[in-house]
């Protein structure tokens, strides 16, 4: 398994999670491509914790 993806609601919620992630031990990945690292039609943030576990937080609402 490479990572887990989670539905987050709207794009604003993804942004909020990404801003606060470091407070919980997660660091953002692919910041140069945020929020479209998953492609032009996908609004998502990618995170990694200190153990190397990756999570994708995806906007599933407009």
Please check the confidence at residue 57 and state whether its pLDDT lies above 90.
yes
How far lies 46's CA from each of 9, 36, 54, in Å? 15, 10, 7
* pTM score over 0.95: no
The pLDDT tens digits of the residues spanning 9-50 come to 999 999 999 999 999 999 999 999 999 998 999 999 999 999
Torsion angle of the four alpha carbons 4, 59, 28, 31, in this order, in degrees rounded to the nearest 10 = 130
- Joined together, the tokens standing for residue 36 give 């479209």
The pLDDT tens digits of the residues spanning 6-17 come to 999 999 999 999
């Amino acid at each position: 398994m490479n990572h887990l993806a989670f539905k987050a609601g709207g794009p604003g919620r993804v942004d909020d999670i990404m801003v606060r992630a470091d407070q919980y031990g997660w660091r953002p990945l692919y910041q140069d491509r945020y929020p479209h690292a998953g492609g032009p039609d996908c609004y998502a943030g990618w995170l990694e914790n200190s153990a190397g576990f990756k999570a994708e937080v995806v906007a599933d609402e407009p």
